[in-house]
Chains A and B, each alone.
Chain A
């Protein structure tokens, strides 16, 4: 008993002791090959199974999860024990079945989870990297398929397929490194050869960078650098839980012009992407959510628990990771706005990536990070590598007045984002 029969059993058994029960079930398979010494070093295959249970009684929410189907009773008992300790809160029930009319494409019917296919992707990565005089020191390819299901005692029973194809490559030339990656639900989106070529090009071109003096410069953040910095600061600030707890810089600013008027930020769960879905991790129908439109803050994201507690209602923004209870997150977040012809003709410091984005202060937005693969950019071209430097700033101030958005929109995890030009930023040379 591992599938729908077990879900049904847990719901019926749980119902006898609680007002409501919810089961979230996931199973998946994944294969990957990893590059060692410029050839395939390891091949890995994994199968995973997990079940998470939530019980609600008198507004007290209990939770437990298990990776072992034989322990489902223990898991249910643990959920009840957990609910006994949780603080009671306003609760309006798990969602009822909805007529889901939208479609979201998160699965590639043609994707086969086969180790031979990942080996082929690795060969493409390596042939791309071979275009430049570098050593390949890491990377690999991954193909995965999973099936997710949410069911509750109000009658919801939704299931969906997810697929992922991903590649990455790490190259080095002397002490100059380059890393590139891509991931998509669709195998055909992944151009492994180009990813390998880009990583190798970064390593080769960043060699012998010149020092830069401490001072204020115009900066262009590549989509990767922008996603990295924004991901650690902007995303948590849009979570309704952080807003209500007084942990968001954006709290109390609804209706205000918080960012540059050329910036919009929205979650589109129906766009193709790694997080595409028509129902969220609690079975609530998803919708397109515009958080910031032309710089004006419109709304925050909520799950059921935070929504009920503060009378806001869920926005279909629940996500899950690992064996943890659901929390508030984004499905496919877009940072968007009118694009410039180029990321700006004026000379600027172009930054491919940053080291240490997770050390940013998520509440104040202040950060100071080491930059990776920086170049002088002129007329939209990378003309000369810069050796090494730090970049310090504040995410919220930065977004309040940007220099413009580039045309190079790219998907970085669950974020889709173009390069961002920022004027007059603090760079610390060495």
Chain B
């Protein structure tokens, strides 16, 4: 049999409940089932990885056969990996306020319909809402004798409103996801907000592109943190030479006082009680007082790169663990929001996020706001739409002129290597100098 230095198996069995309501019509409402297993074997060089549906983790015979098959795969690898030792331990899962499994599908559908209906304010022509609930039962064991199991419960929704007038179509959307219980009650306000934003965007202007001062709201500043710093600090990208942050530990890459953190132990949407390699999770300060302090690591990237801790391995069910962010944020500074707006004087205030993307090797990122306002003489004036921001990782953090004191976390999903995992991002309001704003206004 081929050499086996280490193996682990991670099984995730669970249910996904989806409810989709489109313009008042219940398009679908129901539950589906999955049962995925990933077996990894570290051979003499690198990983051999198997993915299977429906593995009996308690069957010694089945496990041995899988390990043997994965070892044969590992034998074709050439890149020698080692695993760093890392602390073990599983945090308690936060207690559920209300267990979504105790609520029947009919009530979920009715509550979601309430949120969807609330989005239908005058001027809105189309509304759509989607409820997503995931129950994951995770079991893990490895060749070092570690074993754990836990259950993760996620519940949340998104709501979209589209307003149209004279051929112009604009959208407003809101979402909210939690890991601490059922999340559909008392949320009509978010539906209404989506509707109101869509209607007011019909009169919004297209901003003029160019370099200007920008104020980012906590949600967008969170996406900025995630795209501008988070990805480039991932140890796998650093190891491969695919990140501009490689080799820069100890370098000043941001303004004084700036602290950027990834913390999987927080009870936000990116929470995990233990990482996907069975390593205990802890807070990592990526940037401390403007200086690059740590990378995010799993065991193999920690061994290869150093500077940081393992415990940042995550995986979508049925996919191998890779280094990922969890709850990523900029710590509060001391500027009040009014002060930030006044200091901006003339520029743009950007609100909400339509997502972003980064090329960590080139060090360039882009993200898009849901809407914004022009800032003139320290006051917000006209509403603007379809505005995005791009920047360069190595210079952009020096351009943070003020850090607010009102940090807020926002839940979302992050994609990397074809895998999507729940995360949260956050920051207080930020003032950015010399921001490159993309917009097609004249």
Q: Report A183 CB to chain B, min CB distance, Å.
A: 13
**Residue pair B358, A86 in contact (C-beta under 8 Å):** no
User: In the bound complex, do residue A82 and residue B30 qualify as a contact, i.e. CB atoms below 8 Å apart?
Assistant: yes
Q: Which of A7-15, A65-73, A334-342 contacts B (4 or more CB under 8 A)?
A: A65-73
Interface residues in B228-269 by Cβ distance below 8 A to A read 239-242, 244
Q: Which positions 41-98 of chain A face chain B at CB distance < 8 Å?
A: 41-50, 52, 61-71, 74-75, 78-79, 81-82, 85-87, 89
Within the assembled complex, what's the spacing in Å between the Cα atoms of A79 and B32? 9
Are B366 and A42 in contact (CB-based, < 8 A)? no
Q: Answer whether A44 and B73 are a contact pair too, CB < 8 Å, given A85-B26, A172-B242, A214-B209.
A: yes
Question: Nearest Cβ in chain B — how far from A154, in angstroms?
Answer: 21
A426 near B28 with CB under 8 A, answer: no
Given contacts A68-B35, A78-B32, contact A430 B79 (CB under 8 A): no
For window 330-350 of A, CB contacts with B under 8 Å fall at none
Which range contains the number of B residues in contact with the other chain? Answer: 35 or more
| Least CB distance, B385 to chain A, in whole angstroms | 8
Let me know if A355 and B440 touch, CB within 8 A: no
Bound Cα distance A45, B76 (Å)? 12
| Interface core residue of B26, B33, B81 (most chain A CB under 10 Å) | B33
**Nearest Cβ on chain B to A199's Cβ, whole angstroms:** 12
- Cross-chain contact B368 with A138 (CB below 8 angstroms): no
Query: A44-B49, A115-B76 are known contacts. Are A67 and B388 too (CB-CB below 8 A)?
Result: no
Tell me if B90 counts as interface (CB < 8 A to partner A): no
Asked if A46 contacts B171 (CB within 8 A), the reply is no
Contact present for A45 and B73 (CB under 8 Å): yes
Q: Which residues of B contact A175 (CB under 8 A)?
A: 244, 361-363
User: Which A residues are in CB contact (< 8 Å) with B374?
Assistant: none
A105 to B357, CA, bound (A): 35
- B366 touches which of A176, A241, A247, A356 (Cβ 8 Å): A356
Scan residues 159-183 of chain B and give those whose CB is less than 8 A from a CB of chain A.
Answer: 162, 164, 168-171
Interface contact B53-A40, CB-CB below 8 Å: no
Answer whether A68 and B169 are a contact pair too, CB < 8 Å, given A368-B388, A370-B365: no
A146 adjacent to chain B (CB < 8 Å): no
Could you say which residues of chain B place their CB within 8 Å of the CB of A176?
Answer: 362
Within B189-218, the residues touching A (CB, 8 Å) are: 206, 209-211
Other-chain contact of B28, A82, A135, A369, A430 (Cβ < 8 Å): A82
B54 touches A49 (CB 8 A): yes
Please provide the chain B residues from 1 to 43 with a CB less than 8 Å away from any CB of chain A in the complex: 13, 16, 18-19, 22-36
* List of B residues within 8 angstroms of A116 by Cβ: 76
Q: Please state if A364 and B169 are interface contacts (CB–CB under 8 Å).
A: yes
Complex Cα–Cα for A85 and B110 (A): 10
A368 touches B438 (CB 8 A): yes
Residues of B within 8 A of A138 (CB): 240, 242
Q: Which residue from chain B places its CB closest to the CB of A216 in the assembled complex?
A: B442
* Contact between chains at B53 and A370 (CB < 8 Å): no
A63 and B28: CB pair below 8 A? yes
B54 & A363 in contact (Cβ 8 Å cutoff): no
Question: Which chain A residues lie closer than 8 Å to B26 at the CB level?
Answer: 85-87
Closest residue of B by beta carbon distance from A173: B361
Q: How far is the CA of A89 from the CA of B24 in the complex (A)?
A: 13
Whether A81 pairs with B30 at a CB distance below 8 angstroms is: yes
Bound-complex Cα distance A60 to B366 (A): 43
Is B386 a contact of A246 with CB atoms below 8 Å?
no
A157 on the interface (CB 8 Å rule)?
no
| A245, CB-defined interface residue at 8 Å | yes
Of the residues B162, B168, B171, B368, contact of A359 by C-beta under 8 Å: B368
- Residue B298 interfacial (CB < 8 Å): no
Within 8 A of B (CB), among A391-408: 391-394
Closest-CB distance, B106 to chain A (whole angstroms): 6
Is A372 an interface residue when CB atoms closer than 8 A count as contact? yes
Of the candidates A63, A65, A364, which one forms a contact with B386 in the assembled complex, judged by CB atoms under 8 Å apart?
Answer: A364
| Bound CA–CA A321/B81 (angstroms) | 34
Q: Is B436 an interface residue (CB 8 A)?
A: yes
Across the interface, which residues of B come within 8 angstroms of A65, CB to CB?
A: 32-33
Q: Contacts A355-B357, A364-B170: A428 and B209 contacting too (C-beta < 8 A)? A: yes
Closest chain B residue, CB of each to CB of A393: B440
CB neighbours (8 Å) of A390 from chain B are: 209, 366, 388, 390, 436, 438
The complex places the Cα of A366 from the Cα of B27 at a distance, in Å, of 28
Cβ < 8 Å to B, chain A residues 149-208: 170, 172, 175-177
Most buried by B among A87, A170, A359: A359
In the assembled complex, B356 has its CB within 8 A of some CB on chain A: yes
Contact B31 A41 (CB under 8 A): no
Q: Is A130 an interface residue (CB 8 A)?
A: no
Nearest to A176 among chain B residues (CB) is: B362
A210 in contact (CB, < 8 A): no
Binds B, one of A31-39, A277-285, A288-296: A31-39
Shortest CB-to-CB span from B75 to chain A, Å, is 8
A62–B170 Cα distance when bound, in Å, is 32
Question: B63 within 8 Å of A by Cβ?
Answer: no
B94 interface hit (Cβ, 8 Å): no
Q: In chain B, residues 104-123, which have Cβ atoms closer than 8 Å to a Cβ of chain A?
A: 105-106, 109
What residues of A have a CB within 8 angstroms of the CB of B73 in the complex?
A: 31, 43-45, 115
Are A368 and B368 CB-contacts (below 8 A) given A47-B53, A393-B440?
A: yes
Q: Which of B33, B162, B390 contacts A68 (CB 8 A)?
A: B33
1/0 contact string of B59-80 vs chain A (CB within 8 Å):
0000000000110011011110
Q: Which residues of A contact B356 (CB under 8 A)?
A: 356, 359
- Assess whether A430 is in contact with B438, with CB atoms less than 8 Å apart: no
The interface residues of chain B lying within 8 Å CB-to-CB of A40 are: 46, 76-79
B367 pairs with A356, CB closer than 8 A = yes
**B392 contact set on A, CB distance < 8 A:** 388
Q: How far is the CB of A219 from chain B (nearest CB, A)?
A: 13
Please report which residues of chain A, range 358-385, place their CB below 8 angstroms from some CB of chain B when the two chains form the complex.
358-359, 361, 363-364, 366-370, 372
Given contacts A41-B79, A50-B53, contact A369 B388 (CB under 8 A): yes
B48 proximal to A (CB < 8 A): yes
How far apart sit A230 and B274, CA to CA, in the bound complex (Å)? 40
B135-172 interface code vs A (CB 8 A; 1 in, 0 out): 00000000000000000000000000010100011110
Min Cβ gap B220→A in Å is 12
> Would A356 and B355 be within 8 Å (CB), given that A40-B76, A45-B69 are in contact?
yes
Q: How far is the CB of A232 from chain B (nearest CB, A)?
A: 11
State whether A177 touches B29 (Cβ < 8 A).
Answer: no
Closest to A48 in B: B53
CB of B52 within 8 A of chain A? yes
CB-based contact A64/B242 at 8 Å: no
Q: Which residue of B lies closest to A39 (CB)?
A: B78
Cross-chain contact A67 with B36 (CB below 8 angstroms):
yes
Is the C-beta of A137 less than 8 angstroms from some C-beta in chain B? Answer: yes
Q: Check if A119 is an interface residue, CB within 8 A of chain B.
A: yes
- In Å, the complex CA distance between A226 and B239 comes to 32
Q: Please give me the residue from chain B that is nearest to A359 by CB atom.
A: B368
B416 to chain A, nearest CB (A): 12
Contacts of A137 in B (CB 8 A): 240-242, 361
Minimum Cβ distance to chain A for residue B33 (Å): 4
Q: Could you write out 9 A-B pairs with CB less than 8 Å apart?
A: A43-B77, A44-B50, A46-B50, A82-B29, A135-B241, A358-B357, A359-B356, A368-B438, A392-B440
Apart from A355-B366, A359-B368, A391-B438, what are 13 other A-B pairs with CB-CB below 8 Å?
A37-B240, A46-B318, A52-B32, A68-B54, A85-B105, A177-B242, A177-B359, A245-B23, A356-B357, A361-B386, A370-B359, A372-B359, A390-B366
Task: Please give the residue numbers on chain B whose beta carbons come within 8 Å of chain A beta carbons, in ascending order.
Answer: 13, 16, 18-19, 22-36, 46-54, 69-70, 73-74, 76-79, 81, 105-106, 109, 125-126, 128, 162, 164, 168-171, 206, 209-211, 239-242, 244, 318, 320, 354-359, 361-368, 385-388, 390, 392, 436-440
